[in-house]
Amino acid sequence: MLDLNSSYSYLLWCRDFADTSVIARIDGAPAGFITGYTRPENPDTLMIWQVAVNEDFRGHGLASTMLHELADRTGALRMETTITEDNAASNRLFQAFAEKRGAGFNRRPLFTPDLYPDGHDTEYLYEIAPL
* pLDDT tens by residue, 20-36: 999 999 999 999 999 99
Q: What pLDDT is stored for residue 11 in this prediction?
A: 85
Q: What pLDDT is stored for residue 20 in this prediction?
A: 96
The mean pLDDT value for 85-112 works out to 97
Q: What pLDDT is stored for residue 2 in this prediction?
A: 58
pTM of the model: 0.90
User: Is the per-residue pLDDT at 3 higher than 70?
Assistant: no
C-alpha separations of 38 from 45, 57, 80, 119, 121 in Å:
6, 27, 10, 28, 25
* Separation between Cα atoms, residue 64 and residue 56, nearest integer Å: 16
Q: What pLDDT is stored for residue 13 in this prediction?
A: 86
Q: What pLDDT is stored for residue 1 in this prediction?
A: 56
What residues have CB less than 8 Å from 105, skipping those under 6 apart?
A: 94, 95, 98, 99, 126, 127, 128
pLDDT tens digits, residue range 37-82? 999 999 999 999 999 999 999 999 999 999 999 999 999 999 999 9
Q: What pLDDT is stored for residue 8 in this prediction?
A: 87
